[in-house]
Amino acid sequence: MNSDNRTHPQPIRRIAHLDMDAFYASVELLRYPQLKGLPVVIGGGRSAVQAALDALADDPEAQAGGNPRAHIPVEAFARLKDYVGRGVITTATYPARQFGIGSAMGLMKAAKLCPQAIQLPVDFEEYRRFSRQFKQIILSIAPQMENRGVDEVYIDFTEVPGGQREGGRVLARLIQKSIFDATGLTCSIGVAPNKLLAKMASEFNKPNGIAIVHDDDLQTMIWPLACRKINGIGPKADSRLQSHGIHTIGELAAKDEQWLIDHFGPSTGAWMHRAAWGRDDRPVVTESEPVSMSRETTFERDLHAVRDRAELGAIFTRLCQQVASDLQRKGYVGKTIGIKLRFDDFKIATRDQTLAWHTADAKTIRDAAGQCLKRVPLQRRLRLLGVRVGSLAREGEAPQLPAGARHEVREAAAPHGDIWTGQLF
């Protein structure tokens, strides 16, 4: 017997997934507490009423002290029924969800379900502020944290003091309380042997809940769930599974691994089998480098490549400038320049070109993206235009463009016209 095993028992792997509850909406309710308990949706552009509200809220004379936004009467807010435009909902408050409103739903459709719901525009700056704040708090308690966007993280509890107590519940409660005390926001936490199960567990007791899952709970807690609850099984994979009569994770687990490989390929099939059996050994990754940066925009109305060429050209140039300044601000350069188009029939086309040297220069990006554009047939009207820079490297760590040399952009072979290229710089 190794006595060390008794003094230092091997810790059991405990991974937490933390998900802020209705994050954007909750942040907005801190600014507008008078909306608490009402159906509110965040999404879409700025309504005229909202712009007026902000002007009032930011007026120094209106700031008698405290939060001037809190004194804006509820009647003054924009209602969903008055909204005009193409936006989708990013977050709905729990009262709004009672009406069947959910995220990713079009605002126009949501207006039918609940016309009197209050609409607020998104304010990413504000959400990022709160995001940094709650993540700092987590890091001060548990340093092994993986970012999953503004409102989600994975945390490795395994080596954290108290991380093993009650399967992780004690530490989860501490984190919840610390975040609430500092920000006034609630979150839900799942703790499990791995990321896959932790992610599912964090949904069990929403909002403001904690769920603990152990290996033994697989059959009782995981297998009854729909396959769709597995992070990585989306609408396509789910409907293919359903067509084979597989609806729950338990039914998926009952399938032979070879059968899944035969129907979904060696990689996806084997992964599905492992996931259904609750197996996942991915580590919590505390640092990662970006792979690409992009900017895209959906137009207020569909635009015609020829008739609206001036407008499109200006938008195209602006997107290139935005990506370039994003790259520069964050200290990256990229080598693969690409565009993305969405047509009025919602079909998507992408084109890209890889340069000989990395760049973060707006003009170079604009030139390369312009050549990509020439390779796309533009018969249909456009709904969206995007510009992407990939194959990123940290500025200074990529091979440098030789002194005096210029970026060479390959001309498109068999171009579909030179629609908006040329005269924009």
Chain contacts with DNA (rule: CB under 7 A): 81, 84, 86-88, 90, 103-104, 106, 108-109, 111-112, 148-152, 199, 230-238, 265-268, 290-298, 326, 335-336, 338, 346-354, 372, 375, 383-384, 386, 390-391
CA dist., res. 135 & res. 154, Å (int): 11
| CA-wise closest residue to 253 among 272, 234, 240 | 272
Return the number of the residue (72 or 369) whose C-beta is nearest DNA. 369
How many other C-beta atoms are found inside a 10 Å radius of the C-beta of residue 140?
10
Q: Report, in Å, the least distance between residue 233 CB and DNA.
A: 6
> In 3-state terms, what secondary structure has residue 152?
strand
350 within 8 A of 260, measured Cβ to Cβ: no
174 within 8 A of 168, measured Cβ to Cβ: no
Which amino acid is it at 340? K
Q: Report, in Å, the least distance between residue 226 CB and DNA.
A: 12
337 within 8 A of 392, measured Cβ to Cβ: no
Helix (H) or strand (E) holding 355: strand 348-359
Q: Kindly state the DSSP code that residue 401 receives in the 8-state scheme.
A: P
The token pair that represents 348 in the structure block: 């998507």
Return the number of the residue (139 or 237) whose C-beta is nearest DNA. 237
Q: Report, in Å, the least distance between residue 66 CB and DNA.
A: 31
351 within 8 A of 373, measured Cβ to Cβ: yes
How many other C-beta atoms are found inside a 10 Å radius of the C-beta of residue 177?
10
Return the number of the residue (44 or 167) whose C-beta is nearest DNA. 44
C-alpha separations of 172 from 164, 231, 242 in Å = 10, 21, 35
Return the number of the residue (270 or 424) whose C-beta is nearest DNA. 270
Q: Report, in Å, the least distance between residue 83 CB and DNA.
A: 8
Return the number of the residue (94 or 264) whose C-beta is nearest DNA. 264
Q: Which residues are catalytic?
A: 152
Q: Report, in Å, the least distance between residue 380 CB and DNA.
A: 13
Q: Report, in Å, the least distance between residue 389 CB and DNA.
A: 9
Alpha helix (H) residue ranges in 119-160: 124-141
CA dist., res. 44 & res. 350, Å (int): 25
Alpha helix (H) residue ranges in 202-287: 235-243, 249-254, 257-264, 266-276
Helix, strand and coil in the chain, % to nearest 5: 40, 20, 40
Furthest C-alpha separation in the chain: 82
Return the number of the residue (23 or 420) whose C-beta is nearest DNA. 23
406 by Cβ neighbours in 10 Å (0-12 / 13-18 / 19+) ranks as exposed
CA dist., res. 425 & res. 267, Å (int): 46
44 within 8 A of 85, measured Cβ to Cβ: yes
